[in-house]
Structure 1
């Protein structure tokens, strides 16, 4: 089968197409023929060496998958061959490939209302927002940084569905889009200091990182929380909470239900072939993507 791999850390140019053996599922695993895979910021951060959770290269990226189950490993009970599924993959052999092995417990049935492209865009981004905002209460004020991005635009919708008052930072060109998703207030961070424009926030979801942590602290109430999904500079404040996404088929099933109720939709910025993976990473690194970039394999299943 074909897969994208890298032999060293570096820029998008280190990504290369290679021929490798098709993997076999182990205990609790299934083999999925990849129909589409989402691009996340974590992908290029791992590729460049900023995140080293997969160990040293070589490895194949791709944390999101939507596709068709081809083979079952021992001890699997939820799915059958031919089932359409989506979810997260956490291993050195990711979904930038024609086939990928995934833990059955990390998968959910693909939403019937979505094609594989949209289903592949959901898992990491939606799970990040869903889990980060799990304790959100109706009536609370939430500030979402990078609200038009892959995680951000889903967080806006999830917070809205949970009854929150939603404030987002985004360029003016994305304000109409975000109002359509339910944002109550919007701040163009390129023209206005958000810290001077908003107060009495119960929850800040930081999807930018760095100095956005300390800059966000003044907008919080004394009992508020800053939920950091990127790594920021507010870690010494007692209101700080570092958030890491956890693969979860059960959470993904709840997300699927929200999609099917019409409470949640995923925006696709671009669909590219895995042959254009370097271009996809360049776009993702630019920080100017609305919603998600999705990659489809060289010969996707029909």
Structure 2
């Protein structure tokens, strides 16, 4: 299949330009199609999407490597987070939002954010802070919830503790560094050489080039490891935890037999869940200037396939975002 950018698309006021997966096969399996515009009911709102981010889970879904999405769920509009303006409201949503409000959200996997129009419940959206643009707001959703829930809900990170964050330059990692610093933790981070200065600028106390040396030779007595890499990195991380420390992973965590008899905890693999209240806290931090979402690169929605390849192969520092306006 040709890239989305090569496809001819006709204008249609009743349909929304959307990134659609009709078969598994990675970026080559994506198409950009016009799909019917959903209509808001009851407490729902229709949002005209201005920007939607691309996350690692998106290309894994496209490859057929995300078990919750099987062939029976296809075709599927992809995407989990968005920013835009309220276009229309259901009969019970008028008291919550107004037409034209700038809003952002992290939505369920069944609805698809990479589309010109998206319907979700009004309570799932929060206001975009003044001074925050659509691409930055779109980049906050899934990545910020993964970082927030991993650090605080799963890891219990608190003021004065020490956290080691692997993959600290990516979409989730760069937010995790900032959240941990805001919480008052000491932050140790691993990143590639090209990203060391970037991660340090986010507030990390120590940044280790993971290719220049073994992090376990430089780190010890860590309260929490947030592992966004997996594999050997997760297993080696067990050695740097203090007794009673915990490893939290967004990928496959090490098995218990890797603890070698040490009193450390390995949290079950977790997936971030939409939480408007927590996203509202993130928005407050963005408004106060305590947290920023770095947008590494933007693509028009018609170049969705290229955006997916960049997310998978380019190791971006921050977020990849699709523009729909």
**TM band (smaller chain):** over 0.9
Q: Distance in 2 between matches of 1:253 and 1:213?
A: 31
Instruction: Indicate whether 1:240 and 2:258 are aligned.
Output: no
3-state SS of 2:77 partner: coil
* Contact 1:212/1:233 (<8 A) preserved: no
Displaced runs of 4 or more, over 4 A: 235-238
Query: Is there any run of 5+ residues in structure 2 with no aligned partner, and where?
Result: 1-15
Look up the SS of the partner of 1:47 in the other structure: helix
Q: Is the 8 Å Cα contact of residues 167 and 229 (structure 2) preserved in structure 1?
A: yes
Alignment partner for residue 188 of structure 1, among 198, 209, 212? 209
Indicate the residue corresponding to 1:48 in structure 2.
63
The residue number in structure 1 matching 2:88 is 71
Deviations 1:7-29 (A, max 9, x none): 11112011111122111123432
The whole-number CA distance in structure 2 between the counterparts of 1:235 and 1:71 is 51
- The secondary structure found in structure 2 opposite 1:151 is helix
**Counterpart Cα distance in 2 of 1:178 and 1:93:** 33
* Counterpart pick for 1:94 among 112, 116, 125: 112
Superposition deviation, residue 99 in structure 1: 0.5
Q: Secondary structure at the match of 1:26?
A: coil
Bigger Rg over Cα = 2
1:74 Cα offset (Å) = 4.3
Report the CA distance between 1:131 and its aligned residue: 1.7
* Residue range with higher mean Cα deviation, 117-126 or 128-137: 128-137
Please state whether the residue corresponding to 1:122 is helix, strand or coil: helix
* TM-score, normalization by structure 1: 0.94
Q: Does 1:275 align with 2:325?
A: no
Distance 2:109 2:173 in 1: 25
Do 1:4 and 1:97's aligned partners in 2 also have CA atoms closer than 8 Å? yes
| 1:60-85 deviations in Å (ceiling 9; x for gaps) | 10101000111223433421221110
Superposition deviation, residue 104 in structure 1: 2.4
Structure 2: how far apart are the matches of 1:184 and 1:273? 36
1:25 and 1:89 mapped to 2: Cα distance?
A: 15
Correspondence 1:90-169 to 2 at 5 A: 90-134=108-152, 135-169=156-190
Taking only aligned residues, the RMSD between alpha carbons, in angstroms, comes to: 1.6
Shift of 1:287: 5.4
Provide, for residues 35-87 of structure 1, a one-character-per-residue CA deviation record: whole Å limited to 9, x for no partner. Answer: 00011111111111111334431101010100011122343342122111001
- d(CA) in 1 for partners of 2:111 and 2:282? 25
Cα distance in 1 for residues equivalent to 2:169 and 2:213? 17
Aligned to 1:174: 195
Contact 2:79–2:109, Cα closer than 8 Å, also in 1: no
Evaluate the alpha carbon distance shift between residue 91 and residue 11 of structure 1 in structure 2; reply closer, same or farther with a 3 A threshold. Answer: closer
- The CA distance in 2 between the partners of 1:257 and 1:266, in whole Å, is 13
Give, in angstroms, the shift of residue 217 of structure 1. Answer: 0.5
- Distance verdict in 2 for CA 1:17–1:235, change over 3 Å: farther
8 Å Cα contact 1:4/1:17 also seen in 2 = yes
Could you say if the C-alpha distance between residues 33 and 55 of structure 1 is closer, same or farther in structure 2, counting changes exceeding 3 Å? Answer: farther
